[in-house]
Amino acid sequence: MNIYVCIGSSCHQNTSYFVMKEMKHLIGENSLEEKVRLLPAFCLGGCGDGVTIKIDDELITGVGMDNVTDLFKARVLNACL
Ligand code: FES
């Protein structure tokens, strides 16, 4: 599984650095380094409300520190179990 976190200017202003850092932490905490690759991406075309990420081919907008953990559990952890 590949997770792309947008680091474009709009998402950067919306805390993409912290979202990326938290994703990295969650991947490590759940020992998913062999299954999940975390990659930066430039503008994914979903600028606006929160950070945009892409999990494989699925674009997800509105990501932030308030929902990144729940999102990780629902979309990443469940898929890797
Ligand atoms: S800058 Fe992140 S989607 Fe455009």
DSSP 13-62: HTTHHHHHHHHHHHHHHTT-TTT-EEEEES--S--SSSEEEEETTEEEEE
* Torsion, CA 53, CA 56, CA 60, CA 64, rounded to 10: -40
In whole angstroms, what is the distance from residue 81 CA to residue 75 CA? 11
Q: Which atom belonging to ligand 1 lies closest to the Cα atom of 9?
A: 1
pLDDT in tens, 2-42: 999 999 999 999 999 999 999 999 999 999 999 999 999 99
Q: Give me the pLDDT at residue 12, please.
A: 94
Q: Give me the pLDDT at residue 9, please.
A: 95
- Any ligand 1 atom below 6 A from CB of 43: yes
- Any ligand 1 atom below 6 A from CB of 20: no
Q: Domains (ranges, CATH) in the chain?
A: 2-80 (3.40.30.10)
- Any ligand 1 atom below 6 A from CB of 44: yes
